[in-house]
Structure 1
């Protein structure tokens, strides 16, 4: 009886030690951290000196354009955009992978139960010739616990890599969300530009038809030639033919907006308006070093690089021996009634060690592959940083120059309109030749269309600057759990 208590005590201690094994694992994790060697400028070349103390864009930066319809479309896109929905689903997958990767760090516990009835052959019985052999039952109930001691940190490094990938998935959601918001804004501005150009073209068509009517009157009075009539008819026809392509652009951009907000094109109505009523919110870039934390795509590639570092550590740890602990305890009896009696109790404890010796260079190749991915992610991170600086510089230059061009183009339109009004009045009075009228007319039409294009380019540059600065994303808010 005493011996039974000693065996019971020893078995319980063994299973407790197996359960506590995770606390002793992961003692050795390397430091596979390559040098980044980033080139960070002290300031943006295209930024004003006062912009160095600027703050990041507001969370709802798109409201600065002062368009209620645009704000509604962006709010809708953040809820129903399918690209964002896919990114959220990827977060769910990445979180699940963290659980899968963390499972080997915990012991596995399995319950087993069996009932067996067996009859032995009479030909093999010790009595030698009787009829029928012995018949007996065996009932077993047991628990089996096993654990791979992660002494070299292989499983823990794999878990850390999965956690970094989950973090990268969250940053990716912010990248996708920012891209969707900017796409909605840009597409909406394209809609407004098409509407403006349609208004300009129809207004120019009306002006061309007025001039054509005057020339026809002069032709009937014998003061204008058929050539002059035909020239003006051609100009009016050109303006009339420019309308269908603009209507195509308008309709296609509205359809593109419908996709961005997760609606069927036939069910989306866009009121629109004019680019001239859209305000451009003021935004300044701040210091280039701040961009490393402001842009979610940089943080995403940083997390991917960190995951690659842990993957290299895991691949390196695979070269070391694997230690596995296994314990089984339970009850076994020939009678079900006495299954859980003290005498039916049993246990086994096993420790095993396996060391790879030759595997066809599998582990070596896996380590080289992990290092290749690490080098790839390192250069991707460097490129993301340099691309971010480049995006800000390009957006700053575009916004500054298109703002200046808009002011100059407005002067061109004002002067062209004044010249056309004078020419039209003189044509009605018969004091100007038709060539001058045609020239002023074409100059006005071109100037007004160019003004719409410049305004669109200025707004696209503004959204590009917001995107280049990371939008309104904040590093502290992107790692929230997905419900």
Structure 2
């Protein structure tokens, strides 16, 4: 009889695994096969070896400045958002293991003993007695024979969700690295602006003192004196404003990194930032499939596809097994005596009859979930395409902006020097000097902004191409 039970188990397990899950085919990407072209984009054609350079480039190979590397390493170790994402991965992995365990029988050993006094009126012998029963068994408990792949489909669903959380962690890591770099660059730019504002304030104070002396001597008008005072006050406003911005930038960088920062890790200005590694100007759109957020969207689509298999299997019968084999005796010492063998075999067959409407609704829900995740996948890859295209558009024009801004700064500096000379020679009013100084100050501030744009564009391009997900 035992051999028959074992044989029945083997047959049923071999019959299991007929999956109702639809075959998965990756959707065609709803984007162009090439990046946009036009005046905003560089015309350089990418080489074959450049197709996945950003994806393959590790973050410490792209961010070559030692201070920035140390900050990123601290953020990866201490940032709370990344820590939550990592914990979600561990949680999802445990959930997958739980679901995977449903595919194999749960074999458990159990033992029990009961001692019961039976009064005479209920005793089989008509006399009061004490009944003893001892059991020791090994068997299966509520094991479902997965004939139609319901359990396998649920396991596949949880597996894809687990893999999706891993890609979500990679996305968080990429965004964190870019955020640290951008905050670092912004802090450097604001310190550069603060330095410029202080230099401008010192220059304006010196000019004010000179004009005040000229006013006392009758060589300058009161209007010139007040105009010089407005220039000093404007510089004082900027010094205070940028002092506040620098403090806020440092606070934000500390928050993102997740720990207190040593002073030597903070930039002193753009001169301490260094350079970033240049990326190729263009890559084919297929590289977007490597982005973690796109991979996450596709894995969630696969999970929804697997859930359809479980919903389809709900229309078919379910067979569960409860079996045991062991010994039983009315004496504890007799559990292993000859003739004490005991076994049990209790298969359960469940056939849905009046649940067609419920099961059909469940299948519809699963199919609509798949359609929703398909639309989200399309939107994710379209958004990724737009992000890369925007970054390439800015990358294609920022060099020209920088050249023009440098030329503008040099020209306004010359105009400022000439207006000062004309004023000192009595050929122009101080208003011309003031206008030239303000133009120079705006040009210098603009040069800092364009330099910041150039560097942050490199950071953004590296991020949107999927770089930085691995060490």
TM-score (ref. length: structure 2): 0.91
Which of 1, 9, 22 aligns to 1:18? It is 9
Mapped pair 1:139 → 2:130? no
Conserved? CA contact 1:52–1:285, under 8 Å: no
Q: 3-state DSSP class of the match of 1:76?
A: helix
Residue of structure 2 in register with 1:271 after alignment: 266
CA distance in 1: counterparts of 2:11 and 2:107, whole angstroms = 13
Partner of 1:469: 465
**1:73 Cα shift?**
0.7
2:238 is matched with which residue?
A: 242
In structure 2, the CA distance between the partners of 1:264 and 1:13, relative to structure 1 (3 Å rule), is farther
Give SS of 1:69's match: helix
Over 3 Å counting, the alpha-carbon distance change for 1:124 and 1:40 in structure 2 is closer
Q: Which residue of 2 aligns with 1:85?
A: 83
* Contact 2:35-2:285 at 8 Å conserved across structures: no
| Equivalent residues of 1:214, 1:428 under 8 A apart | no
2:371 and 2:406 map into 1 onto residues whose CA distance is 52
* Match of residue 289 from structure 2: 293
Superimposed CA distance per residue, residues 376-407 of structure 1 (whole angstroms, 9 cap, x where no aligned partner): 11111111111111111100111222221111
1:39 aligns with 2:30: yes
Q: Which residue of 2 aligns with 1:156?
A: 152
Paired residue secondary structure (2:279): coil
**1:49 & 1:449 partners in 2: Cα distance?**
31
CA–CA distance in structure 2, aligned partners of residues 316 and 127 of structure 1 = 56
Superposed displacement of residue 63, structure 1: 4.7
Question: Any idea what the Cα deviations from partners look like across 1:183-208, whole Å, max 9, x if unmatched?
Answer: 00000011001101001111111221
> Residue deviations 1:61-88, cap 9 Å, x none?
4654542211211122222222221111
Give the structure 1 partner of residue 402 of structure 2: 406
In structure 2, the residue matched to 1:3 is none
Q: Does the CA contact (< 8 Å) of 1:52 and 1:286 recur in 2? A: no
CA drift of 1:12 comes to 4.0
Tell me: CA distance 1:295–1:107, structure 2 relative to 1, closer, same or farther (3 Å): same
Match of 2:347 among 347, 351, 370: 351
Q: CA RMSD in A?
A: 2.3
Do the aligned partners of 1:329 and 1:346 also contact (CA within 8 Å) in 2?
yes
CA offset digits 1:325-345 (Å, max 9, x no partner): 222211111122222123111
Cα distance change, pair 124–370 in 1 and its aligned pair in 2 (3 A): closer
**1:168 corresponds to 2:159:** no
* Aligned ranges 1:40-59 → 2 under 5 Å: 40-45=31-36, 46-51=41-46, 53=48, 54-55=50-51, 56-57=53-54, 58-59=56-57
State the match for 1:187 in structure 2.
183
Cα–Cα, structure 1 residues 235 and 310, in superposed 2: closer, same or farther, change >3 Å? Answer: same
Greater mean deviation of Cα atoms: 35-44 or 396-405: 35-44
Tell me which of 302, 310, 314 is aligned to 1:314.
310
Contact 1:168 1:300 in 2 (8 A): yes
CA distance in 2, matches of 1:285, 1:308: 37
> How far, CA to CA, are the matches of 2:108 and 2:404 in structure 1?
79
Counterpart of 1:6 in structure 2 is none
Task: Find the counterpart in structure 2 of residue 114 from structure 1.
Answer: 112
Closer, same or farther in 2 for the Cα pair 1:137/1:381, shift >3 Å? same
Report the Cα distance in structure 1 between the residues aligned to 2:125 and 2:401, rounded to whole angstroms: 113
Match of 1:101 among 82, 99, 102: 99
Shift of 1:108: 1.6
Map 1:432-447 to 2 at 5 A.
Answer: 432-447=428-443
* Distance of 1:268 and 1:112 partners within structure 2: 64
Give, in angstroms, the shift of residue 362 of structure 1.
3.3
SS class of match (1:411)? helix
Q: Residues 75 and 302 from structure 1, CA distance in 2 versus in 1: closer, same or farther, beyond 3 angstroms?
A: same
- The answer (yes or no) to whether the contact 1:294–1:470 under 8 Å persists in 2 is yes
Measured in 1, the distance between the counterparts of 2:125 and 2:191 equals 106
Query: Does 364-373 or 404-413 show the bigger shift?
Result: 364-373
The answer to whether the 8 A contact 1:43-1:52 is kept is no
Task: Structure 1: state its 5+ residue gaps.
Answer: 1-9, 478-483
Match of 1:460 among 443, 451, 456: 456
Aligned residue pairs total 462
Aligned partners of 2:356, 2:139: CA distance in 1, in Å?
Answer: 33
Q: 1:204-223 to 2 correspondence within 5 Å?
A: 204-223=200-219
* Deviation (angstroms), 1:239: 0.8
Q: 1:35 to 1:336 in 2, by over 3 A?
A: closer
Instruction: Report Cα offsets for 1:115-147 as digits up to 9, x if no partner.
Output: 22222222345786xxx5122321111123142
For 1:127 and 1:200, how far apart are their aligned partners in 2?
108
Query: Do the aligned partners of residues 38 and 66 (structure 1) sit closer, same or farther apart at CA in structure 2, a change above 3 Å counting?
Result: closer
2:42 touches 2:396 (CA, 8 Å); kept in 1? Answer: no
Q: CA 1:16 to 1:261, structure 2 compared with 1: closer, same or farther past 3 Å?
A: farther
Counterpart secondary structure, 1:73: helix
